[in-house]
Every structure is written in C-alpha cells, then in structure tokens.
C-alpha cells in the first residue's frame, strides 16, 4: 500500500499530542487532561486499531515513570521555593509547595507517564508508515 503523505509527524510531536505510537494519527486519550471525572484512555487506537494495553498489567511500569516525574518536579519546586523565599527553613512551606505540585500535575503525570512508556520503553512498538495519515482505512 502506497502512502502519498510527504510529511510525517515527528516522534516527539506525536508524543506531546498523545497520538498512537504506531500510526501517529489516532488519539490515545479521550477528552481533556484536567477533567473532573478523570482521564479516559482508549483501549484501541481509533485509527489503526492498535491495542494500547498489550498484556494485563502493561502500564505498571508507568507508575515508576510517574514517580520519576514527581521526584523531578518536587526537586525543581523545592529549589525554586528556596531561592524565592531566601533560603527559608520552614518544612511547612516546602511540604505545601510539593503537595500543590502533586495535585496540579497529577493529570499531566498520569498521561505522559503512559506516553513515555509507549513511545520509549516498549521496544517492539514502532512507527509504521503504512498506517499514517488519512489515507489508511481500517479493514
């Protein structure tokens, strides 16, 4: 099957837009990032039909990625608070800043920990040009 698309979206841009890693066209998540009902992840890619959770417990690794993202955010926020407060030693200031950071970035961490796992931590999942763009029709 020939694909007439001269331009294909880059891996990084597809990841930031939460697109399927195989076709880079279908959306992985339904709705927005900061919904009160929580985020809903599609079971399959609406464009190419890729099953995102390839085996039971596939996204357990995403918890470790989310943990790493949280630690990086906490370190950054604590350094910023220390610089902005003039080196305050109040533990309540740092604890409040970390808790606010955890609540504000919870949706971002959930979404992008799964994206990082799909794009960079799953070795057998690669971009396939034949699925890219509107030219591909599910059969």
Residue-wise pLDDT tens digits, 90-112: 999 999 999 999 999 999 999 99
Residue with tokens 């034949």: 130
- The pTM of the full predicted model, rounded to 2 decimals, is 0.82
- The pLDDT assigned to 97 comes to 96
In the chain, the DSSP E strands lie at 29-30, 40-41
Q: What is the pLDDT of residues 15-48, one digit of tens each?
A: 999 999 999 999 999 877 777 677 889 999 999 9
The set of residues, in sequence order, having a beta carbon less than 8 Å from that of 89 and lying 6+ positions away, is none
User: Residue 75's pLDDT band (boundaries 50, 70, 90)?
Assistant: very high
């Amino acid at each position: 099957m020939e694909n007439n698309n001269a331009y294909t979206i880059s891996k990084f841009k597809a990841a930031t837009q939460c697109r399927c890693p195989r076709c880079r066209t279908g959306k992985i998540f339904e709705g927005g990032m900061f919904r009160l009902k929580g985020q809903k992840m599609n079971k399959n890619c609406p464009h190419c039909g890729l099953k995102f959770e390839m085996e039971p417990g596939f996204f357990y690794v995403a918890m470790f990625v989310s943990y790493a993202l949280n630690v990086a955010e906490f370190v950054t926020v604590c350094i910023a608070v220390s610089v902005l407060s003039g080196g305050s030693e109040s533990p309540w200031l740092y604890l409040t800043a970390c808790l606010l950071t955890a609540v504000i970035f919870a949706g971002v961490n959930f979404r992008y920990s799964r994206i990082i796992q799909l794009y960079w931590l799953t070795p057998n999942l690669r971009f396939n040009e034949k699925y890219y763009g509107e030219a591909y029709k599910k059969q």
